[in-house]
Structure 1
Amino acid sequence: MSNVLAIAATTRTLRNLLLAQMPVLDTELNDLEVTLQPPDLARKGISKAQLNLFLYQVVANAAWRNLDMPGQVRPGDTAPPPLALNLHYVITAWGRGDSDSDALSHRVLAAAMSTLHDRAVLDGNDIRNALPDNDLATQVERVRITPLPQSVDELSKLWTAFQTNYRTSAAYEATVVLIDSQAAMRAPLPVLRRGAQDRGVFTTASAAAVLDALTYPRTQPAVRLGEDIVLGGRQLGVENALARFSSLRLDAPVDVVPLAGDAAGTLRVHLANTTDDVDAASRWAPGIYTVALLVQPPGLPALLSNELPLALAPIITLSPLTAAAGDLGLNLTCTPRLRDGQRVFLLFGDRLLTPQSISNPSDTQQPTALVFQVPGVTAGTYTVRLRVDGADSIPVDFSGSVPAFAADQQVIVT
């Protein structure tokens, strides 16, 4: 691995190598100058034989960017990969002054390309001497120099970006430069046992249940405490099974033991009311749920089915049920109890009202009490519904042969 001096160290090493070796290959180049300027500025103020080495692009190395560093990260450790880079250089040659400039520039370019061909792997000592405090020479991968073929179209775009006249040049790639990540590495403790009694991984051949349909009683739009829902699907069974009801308003899901349904591929789930469960008012909350089937055989992992949406309607009581025309104060109770943050509205006929007050008694078995003010009520019969998080109370009486609005869910104003 190397520090942030790695790019500069690579460039300086290449410059020193070219400056030292090119005059040896061609004695005519004894006054050679090697520069590191952008091509449009490289020739300014220089009349000697010259080679310009310009770093024009830095790209991520695809092979190294997601690999752990050998020798530093062991199996099970987590550490960010190094910053792995490929450096793209363009070398451009000039002769002396204006006389026989082109011919000498060709010799400069040939000597440079020959040097890079013979020393395609940078020497560690050359790297260390190129720039103080760099540690590029210690990285696990050697820095290799290879020609970078470019088409005429790519060369045209490149020199257009340089904003100078084109000169004969060659492109090279230096790969790979690995710069240390400064993020922390984490090494977990060794595993002493795999699960209880070191039993290892549990496997099961059975598939999880799949829920396809949820049916409310009497084609209602929601279910109330004290009523049953029917779940339909595949791989359904009652052995070691629980119907899991989850809501954002609850601290934990509510699990209910299902019963076999009347038809094949169905389960019946009863939602206990306060008569069956004294804590039902606080165990549930009105609103929107998801229901899934959880199957957990003894000693094996639990299997959870997909989830279906469910609306749990509040059960309300009203007072008064009769009133005189004008401003009306209306008292309600709601079971199950409301939770903090729930959106509550009263639907008084076709009017939508917000509560004046909401209070939960200290006795958690008691329902929530709400007070509403309904201004300007004229004579008539008004059906009342409570909407909690989008789930409406059900103001319908199903006891007769034909459904009708329940008398205890209406206010008669005279």
Structure 2
Amino acid sequence: MSNVLAIAATTRTLRNLLLAQVPALDAELSDLEVTLQPPDVARKGISKVQLNLFLYQVVANAAWRNLDLPGQVRPGETAPPPLALNLHYVITAWGRGENDNDALSHRVLAAAMSTLHDRGVLDGNDIRNALADNDLANQIERVRVTPLPQSVDELSRLWTAFQTNYRTSAAYEAAVVLIDSQAATRAPLPVLRRGAQDRGVIATASAAAVLDALDCPRHQSAVRLGEDIVLHGRQLGTDHALARFSSQRLDAPTDIAPLAGDTGGSLRVHLADTADDADAVSRWAPGIYTVALLVQPPGLPALLSNELPLALAPRITLGSLAAAPGDFTLNLTCMPRIRDGQRVFLLFGDRLLTPASLSNPADPKQPTALTFQLTGVAAGTYTVRLRVDGADSIPVDFSGSAPAFATDQQVVVA
């Protein structure tokens, strides 16, 4: 690796190389001077044969940008990668005198290009002698000098940026220059135990379950407590399996052991209501859930399937099924209980109302009580639905030969 003198060391090495080798190739160029100035001021005050080496661009090296340095960062350690740079130079040649001879400047340029062609990799001793205290020669990658082809458009833009008249020149790239990162390297402590019982890696021959679809009863868009859902997918089984129901409204997921489905590749999950689970009112919350299948054989890591969305519809009980036209109060209860922060609306016919009051009794087995104020209600029969976090209660009676609106979910205003 190298320190922050790397760029300057590269430039000085190239200058020294040209200054020493070009006169050796052509005795006519014995008075050569090599400068490092911008092209627009490089020729000022100089009448000798001249080469100007100008660093006009520094770009990041994409190949080294995100690599750990070999030999310094070991697996499991973290360290910022080195600053990897490609240096772009333009070399411009002049002959002698103020009105220099073009033929002589061409000889200067040809000798410079020949020198860089024969010495495409910078020598370590040349680098060390170029600038005191630089350690570019010690980096893991050698610095290579290669021609940098440029189109006419690129040359035009480049010399326009120099704000000077164009002269025949050659562009080169010196790469790669690696500058040490100053950030600390973090090395983890040795591993003393692999897992709770130092068992190491545990491999299983089976893949996790994959859920493809979820069916609610009678192809409804939601399920209610006391009903079953059917999961369809692959690698489904009941051994050591749990259907996991997760909701942002619950402190922890609810797990239910599934039963075998009626067809291959399916499982049936029963959501117990108060008839089977006295705590069902407070165990759940109406709204949107995700369902996944968790399989955890004894002594092995748990495998969790993908998740599917599910709406748990509230069940409501109306305080009164009849009312007089005009203004009146509608009371109802909701099971399971509504949690803090849930969005609650009443759909009364074509009206959308927010609750006037909402309370959960101290007894956790009792449903949520809600009150709604209705005004200017005309005579008629109105179907009532409660919407909690986007899940609507289901006001349909499926007991007959055809579905019909349930009478206990309607208010008759007369």
TM-score of the pair, normalised by structure 1: 0.88
Separation in 1 of the partners of 2:199 and 2:139? 42
Structure 1's unaligned 5+ residue stretches are none
Residue 131 of structure 1 deviates from its aligned partner by 4.8
- Show the 5 A alignment for 1:3-14: 3-14=3-14
Task: Say if 2:296 is the partner of 1:296.
Answer: yes
Query: Does structure 1 conserve the Cα–Cα contact (< 8 Å) formed by 2:86 and 2:176?
Result: yes
Matched, 1:81 2:81: yes
Deviations 1:297-334 (A, max 9, x none): 22233333333221110112222433332233223322
C-alpha distance in 1 between matches for 2:183 and 2:343: 45
Amino acid at match of 2:316: I
Residue correspondence of structure 1 range 155-234 to structure 2 within 5 A:
155=155, 158-159=158-159, 162=162, 164-234=164-234
- Structure 2 match to 1:252: 252
Aligned equivalents of 2:368, 2:127: Cα separation in 1: 78
Amino acid at match of 2:211: L
Tell me what 2:141 maps to: 141
Greater Cα offset, 85-94 or 234-243: 234-243
Does 2:323 align with 1:335? no
1:121 CA displacement: 3.7
> 155-164 or 348-357, which moves further after superposition?
155-164
Aligned to 2:43: 43
Letter in 1 for 2:231: L
Deviation of residue 393 (structure 1)? 0.4
Q: Which deviations, in whole Å up to 9, do the C-alpha atoms of 1:231-278 show, x marking residues without a partner?
A: 233332212111111223323221101112233333221101123222
Contact kept in structure 1, 2:94 and 2:100, CA below 8 Å: no
> Structure 2 vs 1, CA of residues 185 and 250 (structure 1 numbering), >3 Å: closer, same or farther?
farther
**Count of matched residue positions in the alignment of Structure 1 and Structure 2:** 414
Cα shift readout 1:101-121 (whole Å, capped 9, x = no counterpart): 223213322342344345444
What displacement does 1:143 show?
Answer: 2.0
Q: Distance in 1 between matches of 2:360 and 2:123?
A: 79
Counterpart residue number, 1:360 = 360
Distance, in Å, in 2 between the alignment partners of 1:247 and 1:288 is: 7
Q: 1:47 to 1:227 in 2, by over 3 A?
A: same
**Segment of structure 1 superposing worse, 288-297 or 2-11:** 2-11
Identity across aligned pairs (percent)? Answer: 85
Give, as a single letter, the amino acid of the residue that structure 1 aligns with 2:64: W
Shift of 1:183: 4.1
- For structure 1, which segment, 145-154 or 221-230, has the greater mean C-alpha deviation from structure 2 after superposition? 145-154
Amino acid at match of 2:254: V
**Structure 2 unaligned runs (5+)?**
none
TM-aligned CA deviation for residue 28 of structure 1: 4.3
Which residue is 1:385 aligned to? Answer: 385
SS in 2 for 1:113: helix
Give distance in 2, aligned partners of 1:353 and 1:233.
40
What TM-score comes out, normalization by structure 2 length? 0.88
With over 3 angstroms needed to count, the CA separation of the structure-2 counterparts of 1:34 and 1:366, relative to structure 1, is farther
Q: How far has the Cα of 1:130 moved from its partner?
A: 4.4
- Describe the shift of the 1:239–1:115 C-alpha distance in structure 2 as closer, same or farther (beyond 3 A): same
The 1:56–1:272 alpha-carbon spacing in structure 2 relative to 1, beyond 3 Å, is same
Match of 1:374 in 2: 374
Shift of the alpha carbon at 1:336?
Answer: 1.7
- Partners in 1 of 2:365 and 2:134 — Cα distance? 73
How far apart are the structure 2 equivalents of 1:374 and 1:42?
89
Aligned partners of 1:262, 1:326: CA distance in 2, in Å?
51
**One-letter code of the match for 2:250?**
L
| CA RMSD between the two structures | 2.8
User: What is the deviation of 1:408?
Assistant: 2.7
Task: Please name the residue that 2:67 is paired with.
Answer: 67
What amino acid is aligned across from residue 348 of structure 2 in structure 1? F
Amino acid in the other structure paired with 1:305: S
Q: Which residue of 1 aligns with 2:316?
A: 316
Q: Which residue of 1 aligns with 2:411?
A: 411
